[in-house]
Amino acid sequence: MISAPLIINVCLTGNVPGKKDNPSVPLSPPEIIRDAAAVIKLGATMLHLHARDKDGKPHYHKNIFAEIITGIRKINSHVVICATTSGRIFQKHRERSHVLELNGGQKPDFASLTLGSFNFPKEACLNSPETIMHLASVMKKRKIQPEWEIFEPGMINYGLYLIRKGLLDTPRWINIFLGSLGTSPFDHRTADLFLSMMKPDWRFAITGVGKYQYPANLFSLTAGGHIRVGLEDSFYMDGDKKEPATNAKLVERIIRVAKSMGRPLADTRTTRKLLGL
């Protein structure tokens, strides 16, 4: 039995999902805050945030993030907040680092840092060495922790290189994404390879995309890792795409499984301690 407290990180929105994909996807700040409140009440202690404009389209502007983060902090001031700096849509350094300019209670604890370029099913996600180093340096200057986003084993190697260069410190949270077409598949052999690259003091989540979300969640639980779950990564509860998901239902399910395994949930205080915040 694994007794280490479990951190549940919820990816509420993402860049891609829309109401046509799943009516429950939260797009506006009030919708995102509402879903955040629901999953925090259930036991989630970390949130991965994307911003949308008034038309529901992805946007980088810090003012939208500020509205979302302010609303969430009013509900729970200790929940760990991670803001995206994704290169899926926006490429300019100014755009991708805009959210890193926030201050005070609006400043995120973490920001995503994808450590290499790769292909999604329909487009490329470009992360040049120059861009990665720029984002890493801004995060370090602003005292925002990088959330390592890993899609291929070489990205871990690049992160270690940046540690040696002094641009990154030891990672406090790593998401390993498996099952997205164009990147590493989800199977136990591949997941075991990534596990073999983890250091004993690294906090990680094996994360599945689409139909692989739940199997990857189970693998991460049994491997002593943590959980990333939410509508950003999967619109459905099942691989056959018959039961639409909600963020709350996805969190409820993983909590049931964790409890059945005897894995305790980390509260916000424990989460912050585990992540060195």
Query: Residue 28's Cα: distance from chain center in Å?
Result: 19
| CATH 3.20.20.70 assigned to 8-274 | yes
- Predicted confidence at residue 93, as pLDDT, reads 83
- Predicted confidence at residue 92, as pLDDT, reads 81
Instruction: Spell out the domain ranges in the chain.
Output: 8-274
Which token pair is 63?
A: 């003012």
pTM: 0.96
Cβ 25 vs Cβ 231: under 8 Å = yes
Q: What residue ranges of the chain have pLDDT lower than 70?
A: 1, 87-90
Residues 6+ apart with CB under 8 A from 259: none
- Predicted confidence at residue 91, as pLDDT, reads 72
Cβ 99 vs Cβ 108: under 8 Å = yes
Report pLDDT digits (tens) over 68-127. 999 999 999 999 999 999 856 667 888 899 999 999 999 999 999 999 999 988 888 899
- Predicted confidence at residue 67, as pLDDT, reads 98
Residue 227's closest CA among 208, 249, 200? 208
- Predicted confidence at residue 1, as pLDDT, reads 65
- Predicted confidence at residue 87, as pLDDT, reads 59
- Predicted confidence at residue 205, as pLDDT, reads 98
